[in-house]
Amino acid sequence: MKKLLLPAAAATLALASFAFPFSPPTTAVTEPLALADPNTTDEVPQDHKLVIYQVMTRLFGNKKTLNKPYGTAAENGVGKFNDITDKALQEIKKLGASHVWYTGVLEHATMTDHSKAGGPGPDDADVVKGRAGSPYAIRDYYDIAPDLAVDVKNRKQEFEALVKRTHANGLKVIIDFIPNHVARSYASNAKPAGTVDLGEKDDKNKAFAPNNNFYYLPGKALVVPKAGNPLGAALGPKEDGKFTENPAKATGNDVFSEAPKVDDWYETVKLNYGVDYQNGRKGHFEPIPDTWLKMRDILVYWAQKDVDGFRCDMAEMVPIEFWGWVIPEVKKVKPGIVFMGEAYNPKEYKNYLEKGKFDYLYDKVGLYDGLRRLMTGSGTTEDITTVWSKESRGFGSRMLRFLENHDEQRIASKQFAGDARTAIPAMTVSATLGSGPVMVYFGQEVGEPANGAEGFSSADGRTSIFDYWGVPEHQKWMNGGKFDGGKLDSNQKMLRDFYARLLNLTSTSDAIRRGKFYELQDANNLGKEYDQRLVYSYLRYTDKQKLLIIANFSKDKTLKPTIDIPKPALLAMGLDPDKFYTYTDLLNNAPATESLTLTLPPLSAYVLEINPK
Return the number of other C-beta atoms located less than 10 Å from residue 101's C-beta.
Answer: 26
3-state SS, 411-471, equals CCCCCCCCCHHHHHHHHHHHHHCCCCCEEEECCHHHCCCCCCCCCCCCCCCCCCCCCCCCC
3-state secondary structure of 551: strand
Chain segment 290-331, per-residue pLDDT in tens: 999 999 999 999 999 999 999 999 999 999 999 999 999 999
Do 529 and 471 have their domain in common? no
Residue count of the chain: 613
Q: Assess whether pLDDT exceeds 90 at residue 18.
A: no
What is the percent of the chain where pLDDT is above 70?
A: 94
C-beta of residue 212 within 8 angstroms of C-beta of residue 272: yes
Report the pLDDT averaged over residues 264-287: 98
pLDDT confidence of 35, banded at 50, 70, 90? low
pLDDT tens profile 526-545: 998 999 999 999 999 999 99
Under the banding of pLDDT at 50, 70 and 90, the label for residue 589 is very high
Identify whether 21 is part of a domain. Answer: no
**Residue 5's pLDDT band (boundaries 50, 70, 90)?**
very low
**pLDDT above 90 covers what percent of the chain?**
93
- Checking if the pLDDT of 400 tops 60, the result is yes
Does residue 10 have a pLDDT over 60? no
pLDDT tens sequence across 428-471: 999 999 999 999 999 999 999 999 999 999 999 999 999 999 99
Pair (169, 306) in one structural domain:
yes
Q: What mean pLDDT comes out for the span 114-139?
A: 97
What is the DSSP code string of 391-404?
A: ITTT-GGGEEEES-
- Residue 73 sits in the same domain as residue 155: yes
Of 473, 507, 541, the domain-final residue: 507
Domain presence at residue 459:
yes
pLDDT, averaged across the chain? 94
Give yes or no: residues 434 and 463 share one domain. yes
The runs of H, that is alpha helices, within 79-122 are 86-94
Residues 428 and 529 in one domain: no
Residues 517 and 479 in one domain: no
Is residue 381 domain-resident?
yes
In a shared domain, residues 493 and 525:
no
Does residue 184 register a pLDDT over 50?
A: yes
Q: Residue 31's pLDDT band (boundaries 50, 70, 90)?
A: very low
Count of the separate structural domains present in the chain: 2
Same domain? 439 vs 532: no
Residue 92 pLDDT exceeds 50: yes
> What's the pLDDT at 393?
96
The verdict on 592 and 457 lying in the same domain is no
Q: Is 13 inside any structural domain?
A: no
Does residue 93 form part of some domain?
yes
Write the CATH number for 594: 2.60.40.1180
Last-in-domain residue among 507, 524, 540: 507
Q: Is 96 part of any domain?
A: yes
pLDDT of 381 reads 98
What is the band of 6 on the pLDDT scale with cuts at 50, 70, 90? Answer: very low
Q: Element (H or E) spanning 511, and its range?
A: helix 510-514
The tens digit of pLDDT for each residue in 364-385 reads 999 999 999 999 999 999 999 9
Coil/strand/helix, residue 107: strand
Q: What pLDDT is recorded for position 228?
A: 84
Q: Looking at this protein, which amino acid is placed at residue 604? A: S
Give the pLDDT confidence score for residue 8 in this predicted structure: 34
551/538 Cα distance (integer angstroms): 9
Q: Is pLDDT of 1 > 60?
A: no
Question: pLDDT band for position 36 (50/70/90)?
Answer: confident
Same domain as 289, residue 179: yes
CB 103, CB 54: distance < 8 Å: yes
Query: Whole domain around residue 340: which residue ranges?
Result: 51-199+282-507
Last residue of a domain, one of 507, 536, 552: 507
pLDDT at 20 over 90: no
Residues 443 and 574 in one domain: no
Are 473 and 582 in the same domain? no
Torsion of CA 589, 595, 600, 603, to 10 degrees: 40
Q: What is the pLDDT of residue 26?
A: 41
First to last CA, the chain: 11
Rounded mean pLDDT, 556-563: 97
The CATH number of whichever domain residue 109 belongs to comes to: 3.20.20.80
Is the confidence at residue 173, as pLDDT, over 50? Answer: yes
